[in-house]
Structure formats: structure tokens, C-alpha cells
């Protein structure tokens, strides 16, 4: 990060997805979003395991859920979709970057949210979508 800017978080950082990646691979923006039918201008990540679990569990795919430990390769900012809209102060420690993230490890063992919690979240997101409020400002 630029020395003139305050370091937002020292990590470790996680990325939850259903995409199979290898150590050393880079996640980059301008690929199809895990959550909407559009290319994303940013790559999203978090410094909390709970938020990474949601990322893996809610990604639109039938593939295996995965959580990767990632290293930001450039500057990043608070994710305004969460910090400004849902969780003031960024308690989810969620970020986004226009620079790549390098995969440095895969978290092989983690406990999923319960099926009830996941179904409640999916129902909530469906309701937001129907109301036109499930928008990622990208």
C-alpha cells in the first residue's frame, strides 16, 4: 500500500468461493461475479472467517465451497456495499481492490453455517432481489 495511506487491516485475509484455485494463482477483477450475472470491477475479500464462509456458501455454483487465504497485491478499500449500506464501521472487515489477490493457502477445514442459517440468508437475499435492493455497487 501507499505510505501516504493508512493501512486498513493487516489480515490475514480470506476469499470464500466455489472456484478451485491453486497456490500462487491470482484472483483478478473483471471476471464474472460469484453472486450476480455481471463482471465485477473489483475483487472482494475479508479479514473475518465468518464473512469468508458466507462468501463460499452463497456463491452461485454447485461446486465445492472453498476458503482461500489471500494476499492483496495492491491498494484496497473498505467494501462500501457492506460498510456504508449494512454494517457501519466495517465489523465484517470486508474489502475490495482493483489489484489482484494472490492465493497463498487454502483453508482445508472450517465449520459451515447451519443449513437453517444459510436458508434464512438465501431467503433474505431473494426478498432483497425482488425489492430491487440486492445491488452490488461496483
What are the structural domains, with CATH classification, of the chain?
13-112 (3.20.170.40)
The pLDDT, as a whole number, for residue 32 is: 55
DSSP assignment, residue 63?
A: S
Res. 111 pLDDT band, cuts 50 70 90: very high
- CA–CA separation, 121 and 127 (whole Å): 10
Task: Please write the tens of the pLDDT for every residue from 4-46.
Answer: 456 678 889 999 999 999 999 999 887 555 555 656 789 999 9
Task: Please write the tens of the pLDDT for every residue from 57-77.
Answer: 988 878 899 999 999 999 999
- CA–CA separation, 84 and 92 (whole Å): 12
Residue 79 has pLDDT above 50, yes or no: yes
Q: What stretches of the chain show up as alpha helix (H) in DSSP?
A: 49-58, 80-83, 115-130
Amino acid at each position: 500500500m501507499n505510505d501516504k495511506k493508512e493501512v486498513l487491516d493487516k489480515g490475514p485475509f480470506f476469499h470464500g468461493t466455489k472456484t478451485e484455485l491453486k497456490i500462487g494463482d491470482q484472483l483478478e477483477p473483471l471476471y464474472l461475479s460469484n453472486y450476480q450475472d455481471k463482471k465485477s470491477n473489483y475483487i472482494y475479500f475479508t479479514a473475518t472467517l465468518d464473512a469468508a464462509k458466507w462468501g463460499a456458501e452463497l456463491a452461485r455454483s454447485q461446486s465445492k465451497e472453498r476458503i482461500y487465504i489471500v494476499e492483496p497485491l495492491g491498494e484496497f478499500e473498505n467494501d462500501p456495499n457492506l460498510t456504508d449500506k449494512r454494517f457501519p464501521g466495517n465489523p465484517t472487515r470486508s474489502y475490495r481492490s482493483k489489484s489482484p489477490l494472490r492465493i497463498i493457502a487454502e483453508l482445508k477445514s472450517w465449520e459451515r453455517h447451519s443449513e437453517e442459517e444459510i436458508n434464512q440468508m438465501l431467503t433474505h437475499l431473494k426478498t432483497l432481489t425482488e425489492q430491487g435492493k440486492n445491488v452490488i455497487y461496483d
